[in-house]
Chains A and B, each alone.
Chain A
């Protein structure tokens, strides 16, 4: 167990709907990153939050947005869902402001868009 928890574990949504995924970071970690892992692919960086502000973004459209709360938990929101958004969404937390550190991953949320 890494101490990073994600909810829900599985989710089915219809194309065009909106979804919110949640992540609680490991104790003491104030940096949270979100990744999308499509079937048969490696995780792709969506964005990162550090001290409640977005601090880095990958090649994802604006309909992917996020929040980080004062307790460092985080949400990933996806609007106007498309079939290609079906994937495993991973949350990772890392130590405060440290570059030479490792990321701890949660078990992910499996999103299916139909």
Chain B
């Protein structure tokens, strides 16, 4: 069974600080990787996704993530955070060959950005 670990439960940063949120997954086969964001009171939104190709993926709102296969990692980064980035961030994985479209999520990292 797949599992996803997000290392930080709650991260507090000042505006303009750099962000890196860790994500590791356990599945050894072919995977698709995602980062979703959940702003307070809103639905889960896709930040970025990796299916294949360039392991450095750029998403919306200045976020990027790097897939490192040897480390089973897919860390999320942003060079300079804004107050509006305050939200909960979820890393997720699915296996394209699993026969059903099932996402396995990490427990999430709450990001608080202080103005």
Chain A residues close to B by CB (< 8 Å): 2, 4, 31, 33, 35, 40-45, 48, 50, 55-56, 58, 90, 92, 94, 98-108
Contact = CB atoms under 8 A, between A and B. Distances in A.
A56 B102 contact: yes
Given A99-B32, A99-B96, A100-B96, A43 B101 contact: no
Contact of B34 (A4, A31, A102, A106): A102
21 contacts: A2-B43, A33-B102, A35-B103, A35-B105, A42-B6, A42-B90, A42-B105, A43-B90, A43-B105, A45-B103, A48-B100, A48-B101, A55-B100, A56-B98, A56-B99, A99-B97, A100-B96, A101-B101, A104-B46, A105-B45, A107-B42
B111 to A, nearest CB: 15
A42 B89 CA distance: 9
Interface in B49-83: 49, 51-52
A96 to B, nearest CB: 11
Contacts of A90: 43-44
A101 B103 CA distance: 11
B104 A45 contact: yes
Contacts of A103: 101, 103
Contacts of B106: 42
Given A56-B102, A107-B42, 19 more contacts: A2-B43, A4-B43, A35-B103, A41-B108, A42-B4, A42-B6, A42-B106, A56-B101, A92-B44, A92-B103, A94-B101, A99-B32, A99-B98, A100-B51, A100-B52, A102-B34, A105-B36, A106-B43, A107-B43
B32 A100 contact: yes
A45 B93 CA distance: 12
A78 B36 CA distance: 27
B91 to A, nearest CB: 8
B105 A44 contact: yes
A43 B6 CA distance: 13
B77 to A, nearest CB: 20
Nearest to B46: A102
